[in-house]
Amino acid sequence: MHFQRNKLDLFFKLLYEDTSVHSYTFQVLFSLLLATGCRIGELCALSWDNVDFDENRIHICRHFIKDSTGTRIEEGCKTNASDRWLYMDDETMDMLKEYRRHYDEVAKSYGSKWNYFAKAVFFSTHNPGFFMNPSTARAWLHEFTKRNHLPRIHPHQFRHTAISLQLQNGISIPEAAKRAGHSRPDVTLRTYSHTLKDNDRHCCEVVTKAIPKMPKRKTG
């Protein structure tokens, strides 16, 4: 289920006004989650080596998985199509550049206790410098919505919203599928058929606006 526009605006308004401890990291995380349409496990596994500031893009190439051994990062992605480069706009890249300065300041404050090898964009404070577990992001989001009297939000709603917005604004199914990391376009078509119904209405309206109004037929 994706966000309605008014609820999305309210969420980000409250998110950006939040001044709680570590809120800045989550402001960037959930902004990037919507901007990319990624899975939360993909973004939590993002390293600075995967951020290309010269070409305005990020590389999604690993993800968190949970199995009988616990939660861990796995090289590669859920499917071959999920390993992808995503173009990002200047504003989003500027946000990441500013956040990188914050990362460097936090790392410096921890000194030798910081895990510099991981280069985790979204880092843990319990294991300083290592990748943030997706469950930490989910728990923070749950606490944030509860504190602000918002309905329960699941991180996957940002992904649904990103893909729905693309389709509603004329992005083709193959292109939206490629950015989402879906293995086949028909997966996108099947999952977001409700969005395409709105597109069909929009297609009709665009064309019929070009048709002159027919004069009423005289009777009698």
Residue-range domain boundaries for the chain: 21-153
Provide the mean pLDDT of the chain: 87
pTM for the model stands at: 0.84
Provide the pLDDT confidence category of residue 141 given band limits of 50, 70 and 90. Answer: very high
199 pLDDT band, cuts 50/70/90, is low
Query: Per-residue DSSP letters for the chain?
Result: -PPPHHHHHHHHHHHHH--STTHHHHHHHHHHHHHH---HHHHTT-BGGGEETTTTEEEE-EEEEEETTEEEEEES-SSGGGSEEEE--HHHHHHHHHHHHHHHHHHHHHGGGS-TTT-BSSB-TTTTTSBPPHHHHHHHHHHHHHHTTPPP--THHHHHHHHHHHHHTT--HHHHHHHHT-SSHHHHHHHTHHHHHHHHHHHHHHHHTTSPPPPPPP--
Q: How confident is the model at residue 180 (pLDDT cuts 50, 70, 90)?
A: confident
Q: 151 or 191: which carries more pLDDT confidence?
A: 151
The 10s digit of each residue's pLDDT in 87-139 is 999 999 999 999 999 999 999 999 999 999 999 999 999 999 999 999 999 99
The superfamily in CATH containing domain 21-153 is: Intergrase catalytic core (1.10.443.10)
